[in-house]
Structure 1
Amino acid sequence: MAQVNQSAVPVQALRAPPQPKTVLPAGTEIPLKMTQDVTTKGRGWEEGDQFNLAVAAPVMLGDFVVIPAGTKGVGRITWLTSRGAFGKSGKMDIELEYLELSGRRINIDGTYRQEGDGATLATVGGVIVAGLFAGFITGKSGTIPQGRELTATLESDLPVALPEGANLAPVPVQATSVAPVEASDEAELVTEAAESVSTEVAEIDDSNAAVEEPVEPNPE
């Protein structure tokens, strides 16, 4: 019996899912601001509570807005202690968790610590802090006030669908050609320049002659 040539059987190719051509890269900084006060004072906040933020300025990719200003953000209190006796200050750690955009959650990174006896909001894990962090303290309770700015970073690449026909590549600069100067025109320009110089020299000579004209002595 003849053997079947296995190498002659074609391989069935499968269509791979399309990959996004454009992404907002992971690590992109996202400016945020608090939309409510979070404090260790009293019993209003506890560990595990979520709080709201908003994107403070649009996040751009080239000339396109990917994350508009005002987009809602959510953070969480991961650790909290209230102020106590003997000068003990209130402390808390917060984590910036995600944004809500077009019906989906976009994960972000950002971890901060607020201590009631400090003047600044510290970062945990090297996350960048935006804005000035003076005036965070209410007595010795740790407080992050409404309007305070923080910075988060994008956790992973975010696929972006650009408008049809849009392109992030820079538009090449078109070089413009300069019309060549004809020989006769060039000679005419040189002649005009020479005549102009000659006229200026003549005016200077006349001026010097007027200055050097001898003055007749007064007969008196």
Structure 2
Amino acid sequence: MRFLKKISWVILFLVVFLFMSFSVVFSQERVVSPLVEELEKMERILYGVPQSGGVLTRIEQIERDLIGDTLSGTLAERVDTLKRFILTGTPEEPSLEFKIKAVRLTLNAKPSESGILTAELDELERLVFGVTSDQPIGVRVDHLYRTCVDINKIKAFTVTVPAGTLVKISIDTELHSERNNKGDAVPFTVVEDVKVEDILVIPAGTKGVGTITKLKRRGSFGKPGLLEIDFGEVPAIDGTMVQLTMGEKAIQENKSVAYAVGASIAGLAIFGPIGAVAGIFVQGEPAKVEAGTELFVEVAKEVKVSGPLAAGEYVPGGAQEFVPTAEEAPWGEQTPSYTDTEQAPSSLDTQEVPQVEVEIRPLEEWGEEVSK
């Protein structure tokens, strides 16, 4: 009986322990709604990390920091408006994220180590204007953007594309060791944008043409066929030719591809069948690559390329200005004007400053001087 009681106590202890363990695990699971996910993305840009507290409180904090006031509408509508302003932009006006990255590239500046955007803006304003501003974040970013960035040249940021940068391509036509010949062209297409520091250097859809440099037909004794391909070069967005190779990084990425892919010399990839069986009466398998097969190659050597900043959904299209109408401004008469000269930094007194008409976008009308 005592033995059975001990066993019962042990079983009860284990049950309680397991229950508590599962309770802790389930309590730690975090279910995040799409609205909160978007909110966290914006908070990482503004504050470095997602904020705590209720959703409404966090939304209001972002609105006040950006424009100095809160918006009207449902939570989803307000988050969507903030998303356009901070993350995606519109065809008429780039996003805040786009603008701050363009300023960094122009000034060769790095984000603040704290991850807090206001701290970074303080550093940039001291560098450019000599003093910091106490205006809302949207106005400060917009002023720096329009002061530092030549919108007509925004498609010409130059970056270094490192050797080893991966390029995903798709083979446009079927290749077969029994039907192709040495010297045949191997057309391919870049299937994903290649970006460096948020600069678009090789856009998806770019065409390239490789060459079959070596070919072996299948043979007896299980001897497999072989295709050796040189992928050559592809043009970058500014026309610079970028040499491609099948290096170690590309080979690692291609492990999931159902072909034996290996490197021989720079620029070459070897394709052969997997699992060929050797035997006197066994005919080898042909090497073949089906049309549409996707695989990775990589940049063979470092090269400088000029391209546009490719952040969010905005594609810069020149110095177009957008001035929202009264009906388009989502917060109506609550829009702050920021025309009080006492709020403007003293070093800006002789410079043009924005007169705010915000549609949760920084201000568009520049023209009046605060004071002379």
Q: Which has the higher contact order (CA 8 A, sep 6+)?
A: 1
Which structure has the bigger radius of gyration? 1
Q: Which has the higher helix share?
A: 2
Q: Which has the higher strand share?
A: 1
**TM-score, scaled relative to structure 2:** 0.31
